Amino acid sequence: MSELRVCPGPFFHATSYEAVANIASEGLVPRRGGGMFSHGGYGEHSQGKVFFAKGRDAALAWFGKVEDMLEYHASDYDEEPDGRVVVLLRVDEDALVDGYDVFVDPLGDRDVPCSFYVTVPVPPEMLEFWHPTRRAWLPVEDWGPDASLGIESREFYGPDGDEVDADEAEALRDEGEDVTFGYTVYGPYDNGGFKPSAYAEKDWR
């Protein structure tokens, strides 16, 4: 496919933190029904497809778009970070190109060149995630609790909404009070989070 040749770099897929545990067991499954891009014309277009960005620039652009959509839908999630944090997955390019029909996404490609899709499931053994503390791509099947180390707790709030420190938060929890948290959410060009640094070229290969 000529379009693949003009889009250097691996294939990537951006998703939410809360979705990765299921992806680790079932892989990427073509969308059926609603999703984060379920509004407008893109909702219908996205049915039956798994989308990919090819190369660093496209991956960062879609990382930002997914982040925007998670924030847009934030009221649908609780205060835990898993519904608002984006995780970037890398796809085994040889396995994808050799084993699948890969199509240009005509709608997505208008916004972000080098956008593609397939219409069949992609198994977990073809996927890796960027581990933010190990600073390496790991098999998505290795996803586990230590991955949450990539989400930095930033603030604690007591039941009255006032900010409290970590010790006060623990004491309030011991008393049965509700304590909520604020989390650092990393954008596409921020250092940190579930993606390589935008400027670490070797990590995008």
Domains observed in the chain: 2-147+190-204 (3.20.170.30), 152-183 (no CATH)
Encode pLDDT of 51-79 as tens digits.
999 999 999 999 999 998 888 776 544 55
* Distances 31 to 42, 104, 165, 182 between C-alpha atoms, Å: 12, 17, 42, 30
pLDDT exceeds cutoff 80 at 156 = yes
Encode pLDDT of 92-107 as tens digits.
999 999 999 999 999 9
CB-based burial of residue 35 (10 Å sphere; 0-12 exposed, 13-18 middle, 19+ buried)? middle
Note if the pTM is more than 0.85: no
Encode pLDDT of 17-44 as tens digits.
989 999 999 999 998 755 555 555 566 7
SS3 137: strand
The token pair at 182 is: 């604020």
The token pair at 46 is: 């996205």
Nearest to 24 by CA among 176, 126, 110, 120: 126
Residue 41 backbone phi and psi in degrees, to 5: -65, -25
Report for 77-91, 119-133, 144-158: range of highest mean pLDDT: 119-133
Predicted local confidence at residue 157, as pLDDT: 87
Name the least confident of 17-26, 144-153, 157-166. 144-153
Predicted local confidence at residue 185, as pLDDT: 80
Predicted local confidence at residue 145, as pLDDT: 81
Whole-angstrom Cα distance, residue 152 to residue 129? 18
- Read off the pLDDT band of 91 (50, 70, 90): very high
Name the least confident of 5-9, 60-64, 126-130, 188-192. 5-9
